[in-house]
């Protein structure tokens, strides 16, 4: 399920709103963007200091060991 979503998002490009926020983050040194987006388009646009409330679709986590893992095929993700 998530691998399909990652493939779809990988084909997306930041839009004008992402670019404006990236410009603000470059202009204002104390700028912080708080987002619910998980797609990473803000970072791809060049925005600095992004706080993601819901994490990233590009990383999976393991609550058993509380560590981030790199994405792999959904059927192979296991917490040990």
Q: How far apart are CA 10 and CA 60, in angstroms?
A: 16
Is residue 42 flagged as an active site residue? no
Q: How far apart are CA 60 and CA 7, in angstroms?
A: 15
Q: 44: pLDDT confidence band, cut at 50, 70 and 90?
A: very high
What does the angle CA 54 – CA 58 – CA 64 come to, to the nearest 5 degrees? 65
β pairing state of 33-35 and 50-52: parallel
19-27 average pLDDT score: 98
The pTM for the full model equals: 0.72
32-58 average pLDDT score: 93
**More confident call, 77 vs 51:** 51
pLDDT at 55: 84
Residues pairing with 50 in the sheet: 33
pLDDT at 6: 87
Question: Minimum mean pLDDT among 25-34, 37-46, 56-65: which range?
Answer: 56-65
pLDDT at 58: 83
C-alpha Rg value of the chain to the nearest Å? 15
């Amino acid at each position: 399920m998530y691998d399909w979503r990652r493939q779809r998002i990988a084909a997306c490009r930041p839009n004008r709103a992402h670019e404006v926020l990236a410009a603000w983050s470059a202009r204002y040194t104390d700028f912080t963007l708080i987002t619910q987006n998980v797609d990473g388009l803000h970072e791809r646009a060049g925005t600095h200091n992004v706080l993601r409330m819901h994490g990233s679709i590009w990383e999976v986590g393991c609550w058993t060991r509380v560590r981030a893992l790199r994405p792999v095929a959904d059927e192979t993700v296991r917490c040990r």
